[in-house]
Amino acid sequence: MALKKIREILDGCCLADQTIQIRGWVYRKREGKELIFLVLRDSTGVIQCTVKKNSSAWSDAQKVTIESSLTLEGVAHEDKRAPGGYEVSTESINITGLAETFPIGKDKSEEFIRDMRHLWLRSRKMNLVMKVRNQVFESAREYFNSQKYTEVSPPMFISAAVEGGSTLFGLKYFDQQLYLTQSSQLYLEILMFSLEKVFCIAPSFRAEKSRTIRHLTEYWHMEGEWPFADMNDLMAFEEGLMTHICQSVSEKCEKEFAELGADINKLKAVKAPFPKITYKEAIERLKPKNPALDWGADLGYEDEKVLAEEFGQPFFVYDYPTEIKAFYCKTYQDHPEIAMSVDMMVPRIGEISTGGAREDNKEILIERMKAQGLNPQDYEWYLDLRRYGTVPHAGFGMGVERLIVWMLDLDNIIDAIPFPRTTRRFYP
Ligand code: 4AD
Ligand code: MG
């Protein structure tokens, strides 16, 4: 007998006179006197199955509960009234795992559902988000590979901060103090000297107390680094990557976007080049709405949102004050107060990536470390990269979950990752 995925049936490829088999879980159940409706789910979709009172499947259909696993045999046929346009007339049911009363129901609070993450991941919403997430990874890799970047594997245990101490997670490593990486950038810089164009998609960790729709303590970070690149090369690469991801996801995830009720046209509209403004221009634009904002201040979430609303699409803000940027940022020779740093921003979320040119001069780098209260001895290996064959180079890091939150217009970043970690959430 033909074992079918639900998607195949919904795509109309099962003949009306052929008995088929579906393996799945009971998603919904409605019981009438003469008819039981079972909605089954598998990884590919959901389909309505009917069981008639006189069929041999009746007693099993009565017995099954929500989330019971089973193999169902029946005949598929088109039915305009059924969700998805197809229905299965059930001939037999073989219960694999009879489920206890499923804790997640209609009347449950958001808090409760979050505590039940291990079960909530079976929901249609999470199933669809995870598929879009998978496509984002695939499309990103496709682009990096097409541009001849080599994917590398950086470490997560590290011995010195990348992005400053305030968001650094410390941990006891046998008898020593180590940290969880905030970014793989410095390790990509090492590998760049061997492989030239490199990238990674790996976790980054931030001891971030902010409770916003855009902060996690563990997130996936897509980072690239390459030699002989300047700010223009960097922005051109980032907008090329973003355009490819948006176009490719819009082509391959049409069904997921439709079922999630997300606007796919927003992705289709993403095309390089993106608007670009300097930090200085950003401050001038924001000044009327936020008079306290002066040159030198970091842009807050609210400022970024206001700017992003004006653009209504991905755009860049570049040339930030050196003082608010990390020690590794390269500065302009005749304007050391300005750093070659660039953020990509999108509506509602604000910043989704930060990148820039890296300081390639050893002496200036040491000065910058000292100015930020860092001990150059903690970064000896990083300084070696400037000692032995230094080159101008640039790179960036994009938060994968921030990208997904924006793409799907999710309420919160926690739904862009299967097991969200926040200040309060680390279970399961
Ligand atoms: O702006 P950040 O801190 O830049 C860096 O880490 C650079 N070293 C990257 C590089 O040049 N290779 O972080 C980069 C991006 C942010 O723009 C944001 O999208 C994401 O990482 N990000 C977070 N995403 C979710 N939760 C958090 N707490 C995040 N912190 C940063
Ligand atoms: Mg940043």
- Atom 1 (ligand 1) nearest CA: 354
Tell me, what's the pLDDT at 241?
Answer: 99
Confidence band of 210 (pLDDT split at 50, 70, 90):
confident
Distance CA 119, CA 323 (A): 46
Q: Which atom number of ligand 1 is nearest to the Cα of residue 356?
A: 11
Helices 362-371 and 380-387: crossing angle in degrees, nearest 10, is 150
Mean pLDDT value across residues 188-192: 98
The bound ligand whose nearest atom lies closest to the alpha carbon of 185 is 1
Q: Residue 254 — very low, low, confident or very high, per pLDDT cuts 50/70/90?
A: very high
**CA of 352, nearest ligand number:** 1
pLDDT tens track for 18-62: 999 999 999 999 999 999 999 999 999 999 999 999 999 999 999
Find where tokens 């008819």 sit: 35
Which helix (H) or strand (E) element contains residue 69?
strand 69-78
pLDDT band at 192 (very low <50, low <70, confident <90, very high): very high
pLDDT band of residue 14 (cuts 50, 70, 90) is confident
CA distance 140 to 191: 20
Note the pLDDT of residue 16: 75
* Share above pLDDT 90 across residues of the chain, in percent, rounded to a whole number: 94
Q: Can you tell me the distance from the alpha carbon of 221 to that of 199, in angstroms, rounded to the nearest whole number?
A: 10
Task: Indicate the burial class of 413 (C-beta count within 10 angstroms; 0-12, 13-18, 19 or more).
Answer: buried
Distance of alpha carbon 131 from alpha carbon 153, whole angstroms = 24
Helices (H), 253-326: 254-260, 265-268, 279-286, 301-311
Q: How far apart are CA 189 and CA 373, in angstroms?
A: 22
DSSP string for 117-175: HHHHTTSHHHHHHHHHHHHHHHHHHHHHHHTTPEE----SEESS-SS-GGGPPEEEETT
Alpha-carbon distance of 159 to 374, in angstroms, equals: 13
Query: Measured in angstroms, how far is the CA atom of residue 209 from the centroid of ligand 1?
Result: 15
Q: Which-ligand-closest: CA of 162?
A: 1
- Minimum CA distance residue for ligand 1 atom 14: 397
Q: Mean pLDDT across the stretch 229-241?
A: 98
Q: How far apart are the C-alpha atoms of 104 and 100, rounded to whole Å? A: 12
395 close to 358: Cβ distance less than 8 angstroms: yes
The tokens 């074992």 sit on which residue? 3
The residue to mutate among 163, 221, 298, having the most atoms of ligand 1 within 8 angstroms of its beta carbon, is 221
State in Å: Cα 129 to ligand 1 middle: 21
Q: What average pLDDT does this structure show over 264-291?
A: 97
Q: What atom of ligand 1 comes closest to residue 215's alpha carbon? A: 26
Give the closest residue (by CA) to ligand 1 atom 2. Answer: 354
Q: Which ligand is nearest to the CA of 397?
A: 1
The C-alpha R_g of the chain, in whole angstroms, comes to: 26
Q: Are strands 331-332 and 198-205 parallel, antiparallel or unpaired?
A: unpaired
pLDDT tens column, 83-94: 899 999 999 999
328 CA closest ligand 1 atom index: 8
The pLDDT value recorded for residue 15 is 73
3-state secondary structure of 218: strand
| Top mutation candidate among 180, 204, 406 for ligand 1, by most atoms within 8 Å of CB | 204
pLDDT tens-digit series, residues 382-398: 999 999 999 999 999 99
Task: Provide the pLDDT confidence category of residue 211 given band limits of 50, 70 and 90.
Answer: confident
Pairing of strands 176-180, 198-205: unpaired
pLDDT tens string 126-178: 999 999 999 999 999 999 999 999 999 999 999 988 888 889 999 999 999 99
Say which residue the tokens 């590919």 belong to. 44
pLDDT level of residue 13 (50, 70, 90 thresholds): confident
pLDDT at 342: 98
- The total number of residues shown for the chain amounts to 428
Which atom of ligand 1 is closest in space to residue 225's alpha carbon?
12
Nearest atom in ligand 1 to 208's CA: 28
pLDDT of residue 413: 97
Q: In the structure, which protein residues have their CB atom closer than 6 angstroms to any atom of ligand 1?
A: 162-163, 182-183, 185, 206, 208, 215-216, 219, 221, 223, 351-355, 395-399, 401-402
Pick from 286, 356, 351, 274: nearest CA to 321:
356
Res. 1: pLDDT tops 90: no
Positive or negative: CA dihedral 150, 155, 161, 166: positive
Nearest to 265 by CA among 256, 273, 254: 254
- Token pair for 253: 């995830």
Which ligand has the shortest distance to the CA of 208? 1
What are the CA-CA distances from residue 277 to residues 54, 299, 314, 343, 348 (Å)?
Answer: 71, 14, 12, 10, 18
Residue 86: per-residue pLDDT: 95
pTM for this prediction = 0.97
pLDDT at site 145: 98
Report the pLDDT averaged over residues 261-289.
97
Q: Is 195 exposed, middle or buried (0-12, 13-18, 19+ CB in 10 A)?
A: middle
Cα 224 to ligand 1 centroid, rounded to whole Å: 12
Mean residue pLDDT of the chain comes to: 96
Longest CA–CA span in the chain (Å) reads: 87
Distance CA(193)–CA(229), nearest Å, equals 13
